[in-house]
Amino acid sequence: MKNVDVLVIGGGAAGLMCAIEAARRGRSVTVIEHNAQVGRKILISGGGRCNFTNLDTRPESFLSRNPHFAKSALARYGPRDFVRMVERHGIRYHEKKLGQLFCDRSAEEIVGMLERECAAGGARVVTSCAVRAVSRDAARNEFDVETSWGTYHASSLVIATGGLSIPKIGAASFGYAVARQFGLEIAEPRPALVPLLFGAADLKKFAGLSGVSTEVCATAAGQGFREKMLFTHQGLSGPAILQVSSYWTPGASLEIDLLPGVDLVSALHSGRAEGERAELRTVLARYLPKRLADRWCETPGPLKTVATLSDREIEAAAEALHAWRVVPAGSAGYDKAEVTAGGVDTAELSSKTFEARKTAGLYFIGEVVDVTGHLGGFNFQWAWASGYSAGQYV
């Protein structure tokens, strides 16, 4: 039998931050991690350099059934707070773009920092430990957690097990199962920040463009992102597509502006007035990668020069390129998703403490909660903020 004040299930970003804060308050804390090493997702993030936060973090950078839920935690623990910890440990970092902070050397430094902070506060970390059952003894006001390392008893139980994304590093539905066990509602989980797949017709048309990248503005459900888009063997990826994928729903279309900031109608009218003898594909290659321009303009029969285009043809060409509608056949799934959208419904939790309203002493933090950040370090900042906030109360 092992008795602790706080038992944290999940040794990722949120779980370790919560353990650090609870231990600082003098609570006896144990973190259980089923992998052989904590922080697996931290280690593989940002190409191994960990995009550990974003200086431009704001509530608008997150999606949830309740867009206001994240405000409290993000206000209490912001990017600068985490940067101070990073600097205290002598970890060198840089801003890549748009407020995104990365380690200069390796993501291992962030994991090592969190482990040292846990040790300094007396929080114990147990790895390769599988949870077999969770129950609550109302008479003792404690949770009993049966594991491969024995049974733990805790007055506070924190679920920080993440979502379903990247199952190869151990992602599982455990957190949702515990939530349902205690009667909490779940916002249907789905892959987010994930590549999207072409339907058969688009796959046939754009086959062979894998590796071609161009700046676009991609929009779904009224949310638009202007960043790079990448053609893949199966469909579309790149930052613009990953961002918009979090808002896309199966069966719906994306609208992609392939020429953001370009007035193609005016350019073609000017070309026609000047007697432009180049074909449309040649003109488009001034704005798009040549392979994409060539493939876009493939058509049976002779190609017209810009000088011979009618007003109607110019308008049609511009409409097609500025508002390309794609209906994805699906997403690349949890294997390729950076995060999981959906999760424990925020209506079930206190936005201040992250305690379940229906079960005293039970907390949910991080990705397992229905709060999902945009690409660029926002999800790590949510992990730090939610872990910090819960750590003040567990």
Q: Could you read off the pLDDT of 255-297 as tens digits, one per residue?
A: 999 999 999 999 999 989 988 888 899 999 999 999 999 999 8
- Both 209 and 124 in one domain: the answer is no
Confidence class of residue 83 from pLDDT cuts 50, 70 and 90? Answer: very high
- Name the domain count of the chain: 2
Residue 289: give its domain's CATH number. 2.40.30.10
- Both 7 and 143 in one domain: the answer is yes
Q: What is the chain's mean pLDDT, rounded?
A: 96
CA distances for 345 relative to 185, 246, 285, angstroms: 6, 17, 47
> Residue 291's pLDDT is what?
96
Residue 373: give its domain's CATH number. 3.50.50.60
Give the separation between CA 9 and CA 364, rounded to whole angstroms. Answer: 10
> Residue 221's pLDDT is what?
95
Q: Is the pLDDT of residue 312 over 60?
A: yes
As a whole number, mean pLDDT of residues 353-361 equals 97
Domain-terminating residue out of 332, 350, 368: 332
Encoded tokens for 307: 């000088």
CB-based contacts of 326: which residues, under 8 Å, 6+ apart?
196, 198, 202, 236, 253, 254, 256
Confidence class of residue 300 from pLDDT cuts 50, 70 and 90? Answer: low
> Residue 137's pLDDT is what?
93
- Both 51 and 153 in one domain: the answer is yes
- Both 111 and 228 in one domain: the answer is no
Domain-terminating residue out of 287, 309, 332: 332
Least confident of 108-112, 138-142, 376-380: 138-142
Confidence class of residue 199 from pLDDT cuts 50, 70 and 90? Answer: very high
- Both 230 and 357 in one domain: the answer is no
- Both 21 and 161 in one domain: the answer is yes
Confidence class of residue 391 from pLDDT cuts 50, 70 and 90? Answer: very high
Confidence class of residue 301 from pLDDT cuts 50, 70 and 90? Answer: low
- Both 104 and 60 in one domain: the answer is yes
CA angle 242, 246, 252 (to 5 degrees): 100
> Residue 302's pLDDT is what?
58
Domain range for residue 78? Answer: 2-190+338-391
| Helices marked H in the chain | 13-24, 40-44, 71-76, 79-88, 108-121, 174-181, 200-206, 239-245, 264-273, 280-284, 290-296, 311-322, 378-391
- DSSP conformation class of 248: -
Instruction: Please say whether the beta carbons of 127 and 36 come within 8 A.
Output: yes
- Both 169 and 140 in one domain: the answer is yes
> Residue 56's pLDDT is what?
97
- Both 220 and 83 in one domain: the answer is no
* Start-to-end Cα distance in the chain: 21
Q: Is the pLDDT of residue 367 over 80?
A: yes
- Both 183 and 243 in one domain: the answer is no
Q: Please give the backbone phi and psi of residue 34, each rounded to the nearest 5 degrees, phi first.
A: -75, -20
Q: Is the pLDDT of residue 305 over 90?
A: no
Encoded tokens for 173: 């539905």
- Both 152 and 229 in one domain: the answer is no
As a whole number, mean pLDDT of residues 73-102 equals 97
Q: Is the pLDDT of residue 1 over 70?
A: no
Q: List, for residues 125-171, the tens digit of each pLDDT value.
A: 999 999 999 999 999 999 999 999 999 999 999 999 999 999 998 88
- Both 246 and 363 in one domain: the answer is no
Domain-terminating residue out of 281, 315, 332: 332
